[in-house]
C-alpha cells in the first residue's frame, strides 16, 4: 500500500499577518488619496448644475456618471427614524435653512425636523463604465 503524506501549507504567524494588514491599510489610504485627487480634477470636466443629484456623460467608449450627495445629520434623523412607523414621507433636503426632512399634514412637525438638521455637501462620486464595442 502506497502512503501519501499530505502537509498543510504553513500558516503565517500572527505577527506577520498583522504586519501585512498594516501594510495593506497604508496602501489603501494612499490609493484613496490618489483617487480623491483624480476626482477633484474630474469635477472640473464633468460638472453638475445642482448641489445634489446625478448626471451621465459620454467620453469615447466610456459612460461616466457623476453623483453629488448631501450629508444630513443631527437629532432630526433620529426623529425621522422614529417617525417611519407613522408613515412620514421622507424627502430630499435642500442646502438652505428651510431644509425639511419630513413632511406631515401639520406644518409644526416640519419646523421641528428642520430645526435639528445639519446639511453639508458630500464628496462627489464617480462611476465609469467601459462600453464594449
Closest CA to 67 of 119, 128, 117: 128
Whether residue 22 is predicted with pLDDT greater than 70 in this model: the reply is: yes
Give the long-range contacts of residues 49-52, CB within 8 A, separation 24 or more: 51/94, 51/95, 51/121, 52/92, 52/95, 52/121
Q: How many CB atoms lie within 10 A of CB 76?
A: 23
Mean pLDDT taken over the chain: 76
* Structure confidence by residue, pLDDT tens digits, 35-92: 999 999 999 999 988 777 899 999 999 999 999 887 767 665 555 555 554 444 444 4
All 3 cell numbers of residue 26? 497604508
pTM of the model: 0.57
Higher pLDDT, 36 or 109: 36
Amino acid at each position: 500500500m502506497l502512503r501519501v503524506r499530505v502537509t498543510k501549507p504553513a500558516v503565517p504567524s500572527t505577527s506577520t499577518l498583522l504586519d501585512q494588514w498594516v501594510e495593506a491599510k497604508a496602501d489603501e489610504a494612499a490609493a484613496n488619496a490618489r483617487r480623491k485627487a483624480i476626482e477633484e480634477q474630474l469635477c472640473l470636466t464633468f460638472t453638475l448644475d445642482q448641489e445634489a443629484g446625478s448626471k451621465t456623460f459620454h467620453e469615447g467608449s466610456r459612460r461616466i456618471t457623476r453623483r453629488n450627495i448631501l450629508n444630513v445629520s443631527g437629532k432630526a434623523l433620529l426623529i425621522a427614524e422614529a417617525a417611519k412607523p407613522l408613515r412620514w414621507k421622507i424627502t430630499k433636503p435642500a442646502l438652505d435653512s428651510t431644509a425639511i426632512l419630513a413632511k406631515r399634514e401639520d406644518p409644526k412637525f416640519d419646523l421641528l425636523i428642520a430645526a435639528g438638521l445639519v446639511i453639508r455637501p458630500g464628496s462627489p462620486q464617480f462611476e465609469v463604465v467601459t462600453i464594449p464595442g
